[in-house]
């Protein structure tokens, strides 16, 4: 794609940790296009592949991988991340140098970083997207939160995809009692729209997240789903060059779906079964769907969100180890839903790029 010199070029860079950071950037990219900006995409791995499929005409660049990996046992997650910390720091330093070069090479006028720590600049407006002002990490939460807030401080503005007041979706993750950070609560982000369509599937299973935990849950749910009598659509969350579908009795498998296919499948499904990742939470809130969550073992953020939404909205959840398909009946009995009635003023939000 040739860049248009009459439009401002905005580099948008989601973290490649599962697909959630990339997918919640999709409505931002669409809004940038509608408001006469030229988005440039940059990431790595599955996140980059996904966005290239969604926006094949946009310039897409590759950033260094943070090499984020989960352990097979949830209790080892923190140690596994610490073990890779020097590789991650090296990648972030390399990323910062690349960003400085790209600003001049591609005449970039502003940056949007969704949790990529090396994407910021003192020369042009720089926006940071996160729902984790506090980073939950067990007994090291105070330290990890302060480090993250120090990173946020490097940016012109921080966008939090949640409501500022109660009720909200993130609780203590996305809210501070006192702060001088430049925070802008923009409301939940979802690439999906609610449609009035007939229900086709009794259950939709949608997976994402780093390996090996994504694969471990896939194998468990494949076995459990064989004991489910209703119609099931199973999205594995593996972004590949070609889409692969498989029909096994009442189960329809997809390796991945694009946004329009996901929107259709979500709307056609009675119950959603997924991780309690924040992007999925925003999606089911937008579509007002019944949902059952299985937090990623050892990921404090997802465990906290599942417990909070259970307490606030009676949304059922289970540990990965204890889940069985009969648990789904708890979701079927839900009478209320998460709500996300919010209209974002995109031109006003994008005023930060005119500074």
User: In the structure, what pLDDT confidence band is assigned to residue 339 with cuts at 50, 70 and 90?
Assistant: low
Query: Is pLDDT above 80 for 302?
Result: yes
Region 101-121: what's the mean pLDDT?
A: 97
Count of Cβ atoms closer than 10 Å to residue 325 Cβ = 17
Return the beta strands (E) in the chain as ranges.
8-14, 37-43, 60-62, 108-114, 126-129, 157-160, 183-185, 201-206, 232-235, 245-248, 251-254, 269-274, 290-293
Q: What are phi and psi of 185, to 5 degrees?
A: -80, 110
- pLDDT, residue 57, reads 96
Contact assessment for residue 144 and residue 175, using Cβ atoms and an 8 Å cutoff:
no
Region 274-300: what's the mean pLDDT?
A: 94
Q: What share of the chain has pLDDT > 90, as a percent?
A: 80
Q: What are phi and psi of 78, to 5 degrees?
A: -60, -45
Q: Sheet holding 157-160: strands in order across? A: 60-62, 37-43, 8-14, 108-114, 126-129, 157-160, 183-185
- pLDDT, residue 70, reads 55
**Whole-angstrom distance, CA of residue 344 vs CA of residue 348:** 9
Query: Is pLDDT above 80 for 83?
Result: no
Count of Cβ atoms closer than 10 Å to residue 143 Cβ = 11
User: In the structure, what pLDDT confidence band is assigned to residue 72 with cuts at 50, 70 and 90?
Assistant: low
The angle formed by the CA atoms of residues 346, 207 and 134, to the nearest 5 degrees, is 55
């Amino acid at each position: 794609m040739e860049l248009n010199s009459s439009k401002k070029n905005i580099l948008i860079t989601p973290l490649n940790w599962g697909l959630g950071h990339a997918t919640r950037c999709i409505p931002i990219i669409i809004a940038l296009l509608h408001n006469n900006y030229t988005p440039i995409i940059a990431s790595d791995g599955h996140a980059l592949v996904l966005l290239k499929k969604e926006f094949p005409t946009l310039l897409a660049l590759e950033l260094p991988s943070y090499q984020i990996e989960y352990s097979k046992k949830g209790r080892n997650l923190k140690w596994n991340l610490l073990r890779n910390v020097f590789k991650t720091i090296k990648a972030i330093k390399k990323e910062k140098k690349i960003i400085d070069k790209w600003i001049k090479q591609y005449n970039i006028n502003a940056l949007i970083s969704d949790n990529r720590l090396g994407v910021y600049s003192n020369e042009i407006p720089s926006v940071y997207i996160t729902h984790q002002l506090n980073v939950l990490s067990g007994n090291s939460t105070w330290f990890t939160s302060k480090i993250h807030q120090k990173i946020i401080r490097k940016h012109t503005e921080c966008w939090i995809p949640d409501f500022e007041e109660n009720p909200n979706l993130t609780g203590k993750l996305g809210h501070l009692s006192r702060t001088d950070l430049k925070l802008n609560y923009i409301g939940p982000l979802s690439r999906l729209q609610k449609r009035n369509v007939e229900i086709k599937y009794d259950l939709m299973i949608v997976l994402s997240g780093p390996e090996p935990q994504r694969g471990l849950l896939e194998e468990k749910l494949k076995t459990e789903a064989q004991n489910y009598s209703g119609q099931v659509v199973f999205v594995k969350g593996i972004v590949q060059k070609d889409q692969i579908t498989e029909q096994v009795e009442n189960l329809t498998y997809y390796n991945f779906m694009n946004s329009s296919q996901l929107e259709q499948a979500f709307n056609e499904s009675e119950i959603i079964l997924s991780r309690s990742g924040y992007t999925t939470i925003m999606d089911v809130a937008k579509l007002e769907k019944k949902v059952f969550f299985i937090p990623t073992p050892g990921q404090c953020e997802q465990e906290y969100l599942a417990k909070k939404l259970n307490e606030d909205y009676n949304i059922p959840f289970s540990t990965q180890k204890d889940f069985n398909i009969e648990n789904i009946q708890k979701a079927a009995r839900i009478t209320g839903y998460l709500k996300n009635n919010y209209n974002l003023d995109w031109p006003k939000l994008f005023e930060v790029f005119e500074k």
